[in-house]
Structure 1
Amino acid sequence: MNDLFAQLAKRLATCPDSIILESADEQLTTRELDSSIQSFADSLRAADIKRLSLLAGNSPAWVIADLACQLADICLVPLPHFFSDTQLSHCIENAGIDAVLTDDPIRLSKITPGHVVPFECGEKYHMMLSSLSSVPQQELPAGTRKITFTSGSTGAPRGVCLNFAQQLCVAHALAEAIGIANPRHLCLLPLSTLLENIGGVYVPLLTNGSVIIPPDADTGLGGSASLNIPIMLQALVRLQPTSIILLPQMLVGLVAAIEDGWTPPTSLKFVAVGGGKVSTALIYLAHNAGLPVYEGYGLSETASVTCLNRPGCNLPGSAGKPLAHVTVQIEDNEVIVSGNTFLGYLDDQDNWYPRSVATGDLGHFDEQGFLYISGRKKCTSSKHCGLSAT
């Protein structure tokens, strides 16, 4: 039993009827979540699935499927809706997927052939399980339980292999740094994004919190190029979260709305921003407007966040200080991370199990230990805070 399930078990024993997941039309108690995870896991085992791809929008079912895969010891491959059909086909073939759980079966049928497998657990959430017996299995680094595909600006997406412990290591470090007990997190970014998956789901579950997961249309983020600020503002006021994760353009929209007279919810205590370079001026504008905004740094190859500004340790313009679970050094002006490195890339077996990650980012530390990113040494798939700005 990993730490996440240990915490859920403790919560189930002490407050089984506490609300733990919320969506637009339902609230799940801890007891109901536990039962759903068990049912999903049993169904996945019965289907003899070893590698499951999840192609779905944000919903409680996404979280249930993720946790069920952990319980059933199945490798999960989250796929973003905003990937092109060509990118999705590449990911499915490259990872050797044997089944896909999706809320968009019509699109899936255009990408890869398959046949529907009975999966009663998914019916409530309009999820269909499709078996892909024609896809050959690919060898993976030992212990791989999640493959997250980067969406670099050049070339096909690249599979980054992670185990459960690496993801939970980041979640624990984030929970300690942020320091919010019983958080109420609103998922605004796709759960297929590693940062939202870890920071927006695992952190609240580890800290006795709750996760709010409206459908994408209710939060204003409908795709890689679709951002409806007014809808996002309505969601924030209606749902009163304590924490959110934003892309830079979302923060621009929030600050502009405040300047036009919108009042942010007083419930907000931590607003993480990543996915691209954020101007120092914008951070100061956000602070002056009353938004508790904090910038960080990380990449998929380190299971997301490695450095973070945080309450009581915040210097706008920097990427923050390294979190407790990693060591960050500068070698020849390049940022090198060790301590929680990925298992390897799918397509690079000769370099599996690296001891450190050369990020390709140029940077330096100031006298106080804050990291500054100054540019790129080369074009790679690394992303600021593990997200790709779109």
Structure 2
Amino acid sequence: MRPADHLATAASAGATHRLGRRRGPRVGANTLWRSGMSSIPSLLRDRIAATPDAEAYRVPAGDGWTSLSWREVDERVRGLALGLAELGAGPGTRVSILCSTRLEWILCDLAVLATGAATTTIYPSNTAAESAFVITDSGSTIVIAENDDQVAKLASVRKELPDVTHVIVIDGSPGEDGWVITLDSVSRDAAASGRDYDAMVDAIAQDDLATLIYTSGTTGRPKGVELTHDNWLYTGQAVRELDLISPDDLHFLWLPLSHSFGKLLEVVMIDLGVPTVIDGRLDKIAENLGVVRPTLMAAAPRIFEKIHNTVVANMHREGGLKLRIFAWARATGLRVSRARQRGAELPITMRAEYALADRLVFAKLRERFGGRIRLFISGAAPLSQDIAEFFDAAGLTIYEGYGLTESSAGSFLNRPESVKFGTVGPPFPGTEVRIADDGEILIGGRGIMRGYHGLPEETAAALQDGWLHTGDIGEVDEAGRLRITDRKKELIKTSGGKYVAPTYLEGRIKAACPYASHVFVHGDRRNYVTALITLDMDVAGPWARAESLPDDPEKLREHPRMREEVRKAIDQVNAGEASYATVKKFAILAADFAVETGELTPSLKIKRKVVEERNAEVLDSFYT
């Protein structure tokens, strides 16, 4: 059933579904609570006591890697926490972190929390004005900045930051007036503080504020989501109860720690004692996977789309026998994947064919990821079912999950024993889900936020009757697995009164066209559906050169061969849709959507209003 077809089914569900070994709580209940565990710093302290000499983090160092044990993490965090406390961090205060994903982000976050203060996260891609808004709205008095470039950003808006007493730079130089100091100096001066680190940690309560994460603002003014220590402790305990991850795993972390998904992974790995390889450089992901050979990695769907499209495009460029073998192996793998999902017994001939396909194609693909991947987890945006089935066929099953910043990032996750592509799985243990009469997904449980910072009316609207109103539309199947059909505010209603789920179509088109980077489906209050396509030049460029086509995106987008490739993909997707949900016209844009240019949020979601406004002339031309 297509999303557009089963909206009515979702809307009529109206029931509360629970899964897990315990009955899920209403908001604020204390199931899954571990005695004596009141905060993230106390969780860290317990981890250090349990496995002091085990590897905690592995980071790039020169041409290789270096590791820190949990004991060494303890030394670094204690020194930073005492130094931050001397600078004024403590209960009721906020410290902003403006930094990419790296070891120091985690150490600083843990140190801030140990003082009793709360961490406010800022994406390094945020502009000076955006950073100033988050810092002032959160009431942060200290900012930790990654380097001199980020310090310069803050200096340009210093007049708007009267309450900021210090900027602490990780890689950079101190300022002459004392406003900018180095991270090394914070730790160095801590020894003489005379403060008691353990007393600070013992004073933190489970309901104290731990994190302020500002929503990405796809629909307006960013809101600061208040998440407590208990919110985060719940996610770690829930993942522990799922029994999917063990200390024997090796976790590769590249996701933005400014995003709630990255923060969830930080806490979960401390809870479980899993060593984490940290490198936030996106251009190093593929190389790092082959070198560090992790068993566990979480990612946004865009990463899996990129991998899929690169593999498919390379095979098409090779052509000949290699392409025929790849196409046969893929078809064989998809038959096996779909049979497994149905729970069907595989005939001996199918098993033999799959073994050959695995040896010729899939084993080589797995080796590109280090050959040890056991868990791929996808979140932050919808994952195309076509992409999920391709990876499953290759023996690299992606377990899709779902959550919001307002629910501490993790609320649902597919399980190995009951994975169903196109769903985000059952709720975490201790989480409740309910489908409202209009199809909106409502969530309850310990992971739900305290509220929006300084916004009581918005908080009341989001937390009605003790349930978080997600703004997403969905349904729960007979096995308790949640299917997301679309954003409540993003559903397209054509002028004929038909509802269309744009993100569903966008994901399918991207999976069908390896040269597409982003797809934007349009048609609200229009008489038919249209689309804007951007090109992934890392994939389309090599193909164009091999075909003797121009590899300049402005020229390539207008070339008949390029339009033919996109048209074939759209026709393929249209063939499976009701007529009102088919894409009738499309345009290929010269420039890709990007965070830096404002069309994408830092978590790589399309800012739909921005795209519509910037491409209004093109969109309007579809309907003249």
Shorter chain as normaliser: what TM range?
A: 0.7 to 0.9
Shift in alpha-carbon separation, 1:161–1:8, aligned structure 2, 3 A: closer
Counterpart of 2:225 in structure 1 is: 160
Contact 1:88–1:111, Cα closer than 8 Å, also in 2: no
SS of residue matched to 1:31: helix
Deviation string 1:100-144 (CA, Å, 9 cap, x unpaired) is 01112122212334677496xx66x55979869xxxxxxxxx832
Residue 85, structure 1, aligned to residue 128, structure 2: yes
Shift in alpha-carbon separation, 1:242–1:3, aligned structure 2, 3 A: farther
Residue 105, structure 1, aligned to residue 151, structure 2: yes
Shift in alpha-carbon separation, 1:96–1:131, aligned structure 2, 3 A: farther
Contact 1:167–1:303, Cα closer than 8 Å, also in 2: yes
| Bigger Rg over Cα | 2
Counterpart of 2:264 in structure 1 is: 198
SS of residue matched to 1:88: helix
Contact 2:39–2:229, Cα closer than 8 Å, also in 1: no
Shift in alpha-carbon separation, 1:361–1:181, aligned structure 2, 3 A: same
Percent of aligned pairs with the same residue?
A: 24
Query: What one-letter code is carried by the residue in structure 1 that aligns with 2:259?
Result: T
Contact 1:54–1:77, Cα closer than 8 Å, also in 2: yes
TM (norm. structure 1) is 0.84
SS of residue matched to 2:140: coil
Counterpart of 1:19 in structure 2 is: 55
Shift in alpha-carbon separation, 1:80–1:273, aligned structure 2, 3 A: same
SS of residue matched to 2:60: coil
Counterpart of 1:249 in structure 2 is: 302
Counterpart of 2:69 in structure 1 is: 29
Structure 1 unaligned regions, length at least 5: 133-141, 221-227
Cα distance in 2 between the residues matched to 1:67 and 1:235: 25
Structure 2 unaligned regions, length at least 5: 1-36, 181-206, 315-363, 492-502, 504-601, 607-624
TM-align CA RMSD: 2.8
Deviation string 1:138-170 (CA, Å, 9 cap, x unpaired) is xxxx83221001103232221111111101211
Query: What one-letter code is carried by the residue in structure 2 that aligns with 1:345?
Result: Y
- Tell me the CA shift for residue 290 of structure 1: 2.0
Cα distance in 1 between the residues matched to 2:436 and 2:173: 47
Cα distance in 2 between the residues matched to 1:155 and 1:171: 31
SS of residue matched to 2:387: helix
Matches within 5 A, 1:224-373: 228=283, 231-259=284-312, 260=314, 262=365, 263=367, 264-332=369-437, 333-340=439-446, 341-350=448-457, 352=459, 354=463, 355-373=466-484
Cα distance in 2 between the residues matched to 1:197 and 1:126: 25
- Tell me the CA shift for residue 4 of structure 1: 4.6
- Size of the alignment, in residue pairs? 362
Contact 2:227–2:408, Cα closer than 8 Å, also in 1: yes
Contact 2:424–2:481, Cα closer than 8 Å, also in 1: yes
Shift in alpha-carbon separation, 1:8–1:344, aligned structure 2, 3 A: closer
SS of residue matched to 1:313: coil
Deviation string 1:173-210 (CA, Å, 9 cap, x unpaired) is 123325221132111211111111112x1111111211
Cα distance in 2 between the residues matched to 1:4 and 1:117: 25
Contact 2:213–2:224, Cα closer than 8 Å, also in 1: yes
- Tell me the CA shift for residue 283 of structure 1: 0.4
Query: What one-letter code is carried by the residue in structure 2 that aligns with 1:389?
Result: K
Shift in alpha-carbon separation, 1:372–1:13, aligned structure 2, 3 A: closer
Contact 1:187–1:212, Cα closer than 8 Å, also in 2: yes
SS of residue matched to 2:302: helix
Cα distance in 2 between the residues matched to 1:77 and 1:337: 24
Between Structure 1 and Structure 2, the one with more helix by share is 2
Shift in alpha-carbon separation, 1:389–1:126, aligned structure 2, 3 A: same
Query: What one-letter code is carried by the residue in structure 2 that aligns with 1:186?
Result: F
TM (norm. structure 2) is 0.54
Matches within 5 A, 1:172-211: 172-177=237-242, 179-182=244-247, 183-199=249-265, 201-211=266-276
Contact 2:400–2:423, Cα closer than 8 Å, also in 1: yes
- Tell me the CA shift for residue 3 of structure 1: 6.2
Shift in alpha-carbon separation, 1:334–1:14, aligned structure 2, 3 A: closer
Cα distance in 1 between the residues matched to 2:110 and 2:273: 16
- Tell me the CA shift for residue 15 of structure 1: 3.8
SS of residue matched to 2:403: strand
SS of residue matched to 2:221: coil
Cα distance in 1 between the residues matched to 2:211 and 2:173: 20
Query: What one-letter code is carried by the residue in structure 1 that aligns with 2:230?
Result: A
